[in-house]
Amino acid sequence: MTFFTHFSELSSINPVMPFDGQNLTLILIGLISALIPLIIAIPLKEKGRRNVLIGVVVLIVGLEIARQIWALSLGRYDFAEMLPLHLCGMQIILMPIMLKTNKSHWRTFVYLTALIGALAALLFNETILEKYPLWHFQSLQSFIIHGLIMVVPLYDIIWMKFRPSFKDLPFAIIFMVYLLIQSIIINAITSGNYLFASYAPKNTPLELVEGIVGSTLYIPVMFGIVILIWVLQLLPFYKRRSQA
């Protein structure tokens, strides 16, 4: 059954290409997945809204577990690709920590990483592009889970009234440095590209960045861009606090 077949064994297929009809359909599926929890929460009270958020995080964890089971069932588990060590994959650990502790620095870190990371994955999904067709487990799983990952911080802001703060930016930067060092070590062991710390993924803006600055400056420039994006993400909340 081709729905679960690894891309290397698929033949005579029409894989998803950047921004073709299949890709746009998958992006729409991801956006709909993100929209549904926001709509469900409209008539609910605070407790009900938190339960929806918990349900979304549980579903995210379940979808990642399903992906791991799928890879193992094929008998070709690739440690260079399948470990949940990209920013979006790490959310299966970060989001439960966020819910359990309710600490501002964890909620801010999830906001800074999950929102932009999942959005980038929806638009430039190197796991799927040029490999899988639209109607495939990996394609549907990837775009649905990234839509859900993207909505968690938005849901936290819209319905749980959380407001990210610049005071949590130092923690985010320090923790991100740790994750980057961890990924560089794991990439060296597995020949992987977690956090895209080994090279820029194909068909993404990072590929353009690496082409301009070269492989030597790629990581520091990429990290600088990430921090700049985080500052832009926090600015709207800084203005609101200043006006209050």
User: What tokens appear for 235 in the block?
Assistant: 């600015």
Domain annotation covers residue 1: no
Residue 17 pLDDT exceeds 90: yes
pLDDT digits (tens, 9 = 90+) for 187-244: 999 999 999 999 999 889 999 999 999 999 999 999 999 999 999 999 999 865 445 4
The answer to the question of residue 3 being in a domain is: no
pLDDT the model gives residue 238? 86
Q: Which pLDDT score, from 0 to 100, does residue 174 have?
A: 98
Q: Residue 61's CB: how many other CB atoms inside 10 A?
A: 17
- Does 225 reside within a domain? yes
CA separation for the pair 52, 224 (Å, rounded):
35
Number of domains in the chain: 1
With respect to residue 120, please indicate whether it lies within any of the assigned structural domains. Answer: yes
Q: Give the angle subtended at the CA of 104 by the CAs of 99 and 107, to the nearest 5°.
A: 50
- Domain membership flag for residue 190: yes
pLDDT of residue 100: 97
Q: Would 15 be classed as within a structural domain? A: yes
CA 4, distance to chain mean position in Å, is: 22
3-state class (DSSP) for residue 10? coil
Query: How is residue 140 written in tokens?
Result: 């549907």
- Check if the beta carbon of residue 16 is closer than 8 Å to that of residue 135: no
Average pLDDT over residues 80-92: 96
pLDDT digits (tens, 9 = 90+) for 31-51: 999 999 999 999 999 999 999
Which residue has 């394609």 as its token pair?
139
- CA-CA distance, 160 to 52, in Å (whole number)? 11
Query: Domain residues for 42?
Result: 8-243
CB atoms within 10 A of CB 189: 9
Q: Indicate the SS3 state at residue 85.
A: coil
Residue 2 lies in a domain: no
Taking residue 175's Cβ as centre, other Cβ atoms within 10 Å add up to: 15
Q: Would residue 101 count as lying in a domain? A: yes
